[in-house]
Structure 1
């Protein structure tokens, strides 16, 4: 399946270190970022090549990734970015994944790819090529932008 839209017009990519990227596939819906993200809409979930080894000792993370492979350097899913807000209180975000004093990217409609698609990512939001978008959508025939 292909889309008539250019790859970068309706979707962006976001690179997330492991194990955090896999945690999103397992139910984590708050991604912590140091800066505000103005983009809203569909995003490719790209697992970075770096591994956050300290995170592997976190019980919440360990439970989420149990029996899952930590693919690196590949698009492993898609999600819809619905909001981004700064958590400064006095009412903190209630997600167990949320960190204080950072921006929270709120994710919905997460879809895991059956087969990871190897590709280079970037530190900020990036525009995927049409070829990459087509390869991802081929694995998710029910997804309509």
Structure 2
């Protein structure tokens, strides 16, 4: 029983203030179409430590990050976490409004999390590597204001 409790406990996560604001609005707006995953995303945001974007460590998964992770079936995948309109599974660009996307946000290298796929099966993933996107001029301006 203690083993089960330990493995089901969610790791501490960090989210930038910019991502927090955008993702909270996205989750709220997606409630009617994607209620289950919108609620899961909001639950992740609610438990996150929110910090200024400039203070997020480089090894933390943020929007736009390219993440390499290992699944519980020992398979390794490399994906980029994006907003729904930018998702393209053929290019390994996964939406934050998917169960795996919501699970990845805020994790850092070495952290693991249990997540539930749309078919109801539970999986565990472990973050192996995180690469951040190049900053966009507009993002830099909003960080400095």
Bin of the TM-score, shorter chain as denominator length:
under 0.3
Q: More helix per residue: 1 or 2?
A: 2
Q: More strand per residue: 1 or 2?
A: 1
> Which of structures 1 and 2 has the larger relative contact order (alpha carbons within 8 angstroms, sep 6+)?
1
Normalised to the residue count of structure 1, the TM-score between the two structures is 0.26
